[in-house]
Chains A and B, each alone.
Chain A
Amino acid sequence: MQILRSLLFRLASTAVTLVGVAVIVFFVIRVVPGDPIAMMLPPGATDEDIARLTALYGLDKSIPEQFFIWAGGVLQGDFGTSITARRPVLDLVLGRLPATLELSIMALVIAVILGGVAALTGTRERGTKVEAGIDVANGMALSVPDFLWALILILLFGVAWPVFHISGRVTPSLDLPFVTNFYLFESLVRLRFDLWADIVSHMFMPALALAIPLAAIIGQLLKQSLKETMHLDYVTLARTKGYGENHVIIREALPNAILPTLTLVGVQFTFLIGGTVIIERLFSYEGLGNMAIDAVINRDLPLIQGIVILFAVLFTVVNLVVDLTYALLNPRLRNA
């Protein structure tokens, strides 16, 4: 009952957040410099041409008037039409969302694996040179930003040893039988491992670039939690029962130590989605982030609004899922 009430409260606050984001983004992008009409003015355009184009894109009305027209459309599922692509914004952003989601999830999986292995190994080898080595690697991974990792990876695995593809999401010459834009997922469902390998080959470097800093954070926090847990009585009891160190760490200490890390992963995942903007650009990956940069450069106001709203929805949903998962995993909260 408590969880249900909490869920309803979170949904209500999510709705308020989204309305707030919509209002802010709508007004802010109209106040910042850069008029989309001025950008498409050809040499020799007259005042009449400017007025005609301004009216054509609905920018001749007052900003509040434009907002209510846009908000009215959004409530009916119409996010407007992109100025540059001349297509419905909703189609464009939903078409790109799967690519960004797949990339983010793959990055998260890589980060959890790398961070988890580092934390478990560091805990297992605590006080040794191995732990010191892991700490140094963590420090390096954290201090180098993801876009720099991207460039290093491009240089290593794109140019020096060209194993992975540098740009795009899939090889253009391949015929794709997909009906959704979740290429990675659908290729597995269809058992098309040839396509799956090609998609992974395109996703691996951007995902790894996104994952490395997050893996370092996970590794550090989880190792710290594990080390604290290793001193608790029930862990000592497990040891006295004769369980091996691996069993003690994984079966006894990890379930308790993982909770703070889980919360952190949830928060960091939203940052990771935000990080896709730059990484997708560097790898020419056809996701929302890449589209967002183009939209900002071209001052494609309806598209910027659509992307920001979608990012806001993603962030709030991820946070909600994390909170719910935390509540389900934490016995004290679950039984409250």
Chain B
Amino acid sequence: MKLTRRNMMKLSAATAAAGAFGLPAFAQNIDELVIAYNTTLPSWDPTTGPSAVNPTIQGIYQSVFDQFILQQPDLSPAPGLLTEWGWNDDRTKVMMKVRQGVTWHDGSPFSAEDVAWSLARAADPATGNPINFVWSTLENFAADGDTVTADVKQFDPTIFKWMYFLTGYVLPKAYYEKVGADGFEEAPIGTGPYMVEKFERNAFVRLKANENYWGGKPDFETVTIKFVTDAAARVAEVESGNAHVTLEMPYEEYDRLKGTLNGVAAPISDIGMIFLNDIDVMLDENVRQACALAIDKQTIIDRLLSGYGVAIDTLQTPEYEAYEASIKVPYDPEKAKELLAASGYSTDNPVKFKIQTTRGFKPKDYEMIQAIVGLWRRVGIEAEIEVYEIAKHYELRAADTLAPAAFYNWGNSVGDPTTSTGFAMFGPSPHSVWDGADLIEKIGPLWGEADEAKRIEGWKEVDRYVAENALVIPLLQYVQPILSAKGVEVTPHASGALLPHLMKRA
């Protein structure tokens, strides 16, 4: 630039403007970690209301509150506030040992009383815990020293898994009773790695490291989580240095920026799938099989998701206990044509039905369904796409009135087959769309199966039956893209939760 009086004036004006308005801090020396988060936090109580079952928010909750049992980044359980847990021999009682020496954020001691109270509160229908039906399988909670016991009202083999899943949080009994629900919303405390310093609803939450955290003080003293719901704005935040970490951006943007920033893209527990409703043409097994065989999942992942995804053939991902690699549903369009022909359909006389999908709720959801409809058309399936909001999907699914095919994404961060195949395929469940009696009969005994190995094998058999009969079409396991400044190293969590205490200085 030529040094002229005019250019000098321009430069001075720009510098003055930048100084006056405060240039955003770049990530050279990170004293305060800033995360551009993809959702807002409506409520601080992690055990009641819609927020409690919103998987996207769990990362914020887990920064402040501890769950009964710790879940490690690979989804496996580890001692947390509970150091030991289990049933008695005849499965009529549960026993839990509570960690000693833990304190709440206000300095008061954490005790077994807090655990017993949190469990009893979750089991009380009046508190509005959406997972009450799980917690209420236990009753008569009692605390004695460092031990908590409860009677088993109805045996649920997954009860301890729920202790690191939705609403499985320990809240402070004395503090909550003292300040009430409103006071807790105003000033929440937990035993987690970070304490809430400042909270502006819809804007940000500022967290301060808990020096007394039983798992060790986090690397970053202060963390600000800004709620930036628009993906383009999140990318701009991290690209400009206004934020150090962000997640869930378009894969194209991730690829563009992963060279200049740190990028990590790891598979998470969310999957994409197509529900098949047992109505109309979906009652024809040939049609269902053809639908499943005509989808080239890997090509869809490569072309539409830039390769970020893992093709799946059951509702289990490779990280899940009941994953069975031998169950395969190959891409075989010729076989699909044969099956359709056996039912009297062809490209000239296609089978017709409606498929519902969201648009923009998950990465390339609508585009994937467009691609699938295109692949189906080649073999003699003509599907009409109906776009709906996710709220409508929930309503239609709960009323069992979805179209013959409906795209959805299923989250199962606990990794148990009951919370994937179980709830998605068991007819009486409000989340299930397939109501076949044969499947109900196969799944029924597994709910209360006490022999863990037998239980997992049972679910694998169910998955095999589901795949062989094409009762649902699993598509892919999602990959979560995370971008961070060069000075920050992020450990991804397979649940999809972005956890600041797992972030380190690089």
Contacts and interface: CB of A to CB of B under 8 A. Distances in A.
B259 to A, nearest CB: 16
A67 B420 CA distance: 39
Contacts of A33: 388-389, 391-392, 395-396
A312 B27 CA distance: 44
Interface in B287-301: none
A282 interface: yes
Interface in A51-72: 52-53, 56
B242 A42 contact: no
Interface in A266-317: 281-284, 286, 290-291, 293-294, 297-299
Interface stretch (B41-49, B112-120, B144-152): B41-49
Given A33-B392, A41-B394, A286-B200, A198 B22 contact: yes
Contacts of A282: 230, 232-233
A299 B393 CA distance: 13
Interface in B209-261: 222, 224, 226-230, 232-233, 236-237, 239-242
A299 B394 CA distance: 11
A166 B240 contact: yes
A83 B429 contact: no
Interface in B37-57: 40, 42-43, 45, 48-53
Contacts of A43: 419, 422-424, 429, 431
Nearest to B17: A163
Contacts, number: 198
Contact of A284 (B233, B241, B429): B233
Contact of A44 (B14, B134, B181, B388): B134
Contacts of A52: 125, 132
A204 B20 CA distance: 13
A46 B352 CA distance: 33
A267 B485 CA distance: 45
Contacts of B131: 42
A115 interface: no
Contacts of B431: 41, 43-45
Interface stretch (A18-26, A121-129, A167-175): A167-175
A177 interface: no
Contact of A49 (B42, B49, B133, B224): B133
A277 to B, nearest CB: 13
Interface in B371-428: 388-392, 394-399, 418-419, 422-424, 428
A84 B43 contact: yes
A284 B236 contact: no
A284 B229 contact: yes
A156 to B, nearest CB: 11
Contact of B32 (A38, A173, A200): A173
Nearest to B39: A294
Contacts of B21: 163-165, 197-198, 200-201, 204
A85 interface: yes
Contacts of B362: none
Given A42-B131, A154-B233, A159-B236, A83 B49 contact: yes
Contact of A35 (B40, B198, B395): B395
A310 to B, nearest CB: 15
Most buried by A among B45, B48, B125, B236: B236
Contact of B166 (A42, A56, A172): A42
A36 interface: yes
A174 to B, nearest CB: 10
B394 A168 contact: no
B130 A165 contact: no
B77 to A, nearest CB: 19
B395 A168 contact: no
A155 B394 CA distance: 36
B242 A172 contact: no
Given A39-B394, A200-B21, A172 B200 contact: yes
A166 to B, nearest CB: 5
Contacts of B198: 172
Given A44-B133, A52-B125, A200-B21, A34 B392 contact: yes
Contacts of A155: 236
Contact of A165 (B242, B390, B392): B242
Interface in B423-460: 423-424, 428-431
Nearest to B18: A163
A52 B398 CA distance: 15
B125 A169 contact: no
Contacts of B200: 169, 172, 286
A159 B242 CA distance: 9
B488 to A, nearest CB: 17
Contact of A38 (B203, B232, B398): B398
A40 B233 contact: no
Most buried by B among A38, A155, A170: A38
B228 A284 contact: yes
B204 A162 contact: no
Interface in B93-150: 125, 128, 130-134
Given A38-B394, A39-B390, A53-B128, 14 more contacts: A35-B391, A43-B429, A44-B134, A44-B422, A56-B128, A84-B43, A86-B48, A86-B181, A158-B242, A162-B240, A162-B242, A167-B226, A172-B34, A198-B21
